């Protein structure tokens, strides 16, 4: 660059008109140097921008759930977590799904292993638990205590949360159904919590979307779940970006 500025200086000296005459194209050497520096900085910024994007860490999205989100009965590529990650990346999100979904888990199980799954860090969390509590007839008060502890811990760590709810099996009676349902509806009103009332909405009991066991979604059902939840997950990731 020093040689380039020397050439500019020599050219400037050789082309100057006689003293006292104003050349319409004359520019002070200092102005030329300032313009050159600006162009250099702009070029450097454009060169570094792709590098900055490449080095930016992906958003780590924890899915804390049970067999409904772990992909029970499905190849991994067709599971909820895999299809959700594919859908988010197709939208341009740089996301890494943290697999915290274990078949058979209750809210107590999710609470017990929360610290372990958070050991590597997380930027956002989708909590999908409660179906096995309902199948086992767990006291809704115990389920509330477990989910409250999970949400408390996530919010203490400033991790935005999407809570997805569940309905109790009808064979446990209307009173149990009402108390079970009230747990999710109440926790879904907590400040800072995004709420999806029913994880299996548009999928449960729909022919062609449920596996032969009548409980778990098939690959098509998972696609419906992902498409329905995508706007809420988009919002969750926006909150993670802002945090």
pLDDT tens digits along 188-222: 999 999 999 999 999 999 999 999 999 999 999 99
Query: Is the Cα torsion angle 143, 145, 149, 151 positive or negative in sign?
Result: positive
Are 207 and 158 within one domain? Answer: yes
- Same domain for 222 and 147? yes
Residue pointed to by tokens 């006689």: 18
70 is catalytic: no
* Active-site option among 123, 164, 213, 234: 213
* Catalytic (active site) residue 216: yes
Find the length of the chain: 243
- Give me the catalytic one of 39, 185, 216, 241: 216
pLDDT in tens, 65-98: 999 999 999 999 999 999 999 999 999 999 999 9
CB atoms within 10 A of CB 20: 5
Q: Are residues 32 and 100 in the same domain?
A: no
Global confidence as pTM: 0.78
User: Which pLDDT belongs to residue 15?
Assistant: 41
Q: Are residues 91 and 69 in the same domain?
A: yes
Question: Known catalytic residue: 152?
Answer: no
CA distance linking residue 56 with residue 85, whole number of Å? 18
If you search the block for the tokens 């030329």, which residue do you land on? 32
Q: Which of 67, 70, 79, 164 is catalytic?
A: 67
User: Do 161 and 41 belong to one domain?
Assistant: no
Q: Do both 105 and 42 map to the same domain?
A: no
Q: What does each C-alpha distance from 215 to 66, 157, 188 come to in angstroms?
A: 12, 33, 24
Which residue, of 25, 54, 83, is where some domain finishes?
54
Domain identity same for 110 and 212: yes
Can you tell me the mean pLDDT for 33-62?
A: 64
**In the chain, how many domains are there?**
2
pLDDT digits (tens, 9 = 90+) for 126-176: 999 999 999 999 999 999 999 999 999 999 999 999 999 999 999 999 999
Instruction: Say yes or no: 87 and 27 in one domain.
Output: no
**7 lies in the same domain as 77:** no
- pLDDT beyond 90 at 103: yes
Does one domain contain both 36 and 66?
no
Task: Give yes or no: residues 37 and 147 share one domain.
Answer: no
Examine the domain organization and report whether 124 and 214 are in the same domain: yes
Q: Which of 136 and 31 is assigned the larger pLDDT?
A: 136
> By residue range, what is the domain housing residue 185?
58-242
**What CATH number has the domain bearing residue 166?**
3.40.50.1110
**CA 222 to centroid of chain Cα atoms:** 18
């Amino acid at each position: 660059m020093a040689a380039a500025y020397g050439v500019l200086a020599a050219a400037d000296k050789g082309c100057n008109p006689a003293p006292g005459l104003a050349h319409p194209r004359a520019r002070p050497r200092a102005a030329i140097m300032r313009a050159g520096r600006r162009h250099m900085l702009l070029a450097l910024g454009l060169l570094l921008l792709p590098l900055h994007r490449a080095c930016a860490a992906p958003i780590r999205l924890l899915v804390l759930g049970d067999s409904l989100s772990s992909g029970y009965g499905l190849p991994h590529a067709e599971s909820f977590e895999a299809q959700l990650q594919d859908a988010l990346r197709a939208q341009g999100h740089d996301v890494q799904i943290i697999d915290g979904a274990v078949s058979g888990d209750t809210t107590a199980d999710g609470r017990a292993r929360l610290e372990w799954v958070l050991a590597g860090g997380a930027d956002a969390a989708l909590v999908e638990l409660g179906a096995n509590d309902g199948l086992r007839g767990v006291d809704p008060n115990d389920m509330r205590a477990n989910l409250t502890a999970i949400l408390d811990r996530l919010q203490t760590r400033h991790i935005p949360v999407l809570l997805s709810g569940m309905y109790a099996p009808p064979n446990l009676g209307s009173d149990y159904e009402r108390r079970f349902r009230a747990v999710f509806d109440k926790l879904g009103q907590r400040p800072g919590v995004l709420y999806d009332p029913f994880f299996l909405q548009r999928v449960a009991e729909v022919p062609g979307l449920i596996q032969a066991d009548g409980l778990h979604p098939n690959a098509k059902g998972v696609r419906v779940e992902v498409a329905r939840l995508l706007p809420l997950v988009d919002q969750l990731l926006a909150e993670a970006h802002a945090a």
